[in-house]
Structure 1
Amino acid sequence: MKSVTRSLRILEAVAQHQPVTVGELTKLFGLPKSTVQRTLVTLNEAGWLRANRKDTTRWEIGARVLAVRPAALQGSSLFAAAREPMIRLRDAVNETIHLSVPDALQCMVVVDRVDCTHAVRTFHAIGDTSPLHATATGRAVLAHVPRADVDELVAHGLESFGEATPTEAGQLHAELERVRADGYSVNRKQYRPDVCAVAAAILDEGGTPLATVAVSMPESRYDAVRLPELGRLVADTAQEIAGRRMGA
Structure 2
Amino acid sequence: MNRYSLNQATTKYWPLEDVVAASSKAELSWIGLWREPVQEYGVERAAKLVADAGLQVSSLCRGGFFTATDEAERQAKLDDNRRAIDEAATLGTEVLVLVSGGLPAGSRDLDGARSMVRDGLAELAPYAGERGVRLAIEALHPMFCSDRCVVSSLGGALDLAEQFPAEQVGVIVDAYHLWWDADVYRQIQRAGDRICSYQVSDWVVPLPADTLLGRGLMGDGSIELRRLREACDAAGYTGPVEVEIFNQDLWDAPGQHVFDLALARYREHVA
Q: Do both proteins adopt the same fold according to a TM-score greater than 0.5, normalized to the shorter chain?
A: no
Higher relative contact order (CA 8 A, sep 6+): 2
With normalisation by structure 1, the TM-score equals 0.28
The structure with the largest alpha-carbon Rg is 1
With normalisation by structure 2, the TM-score equals 0.26
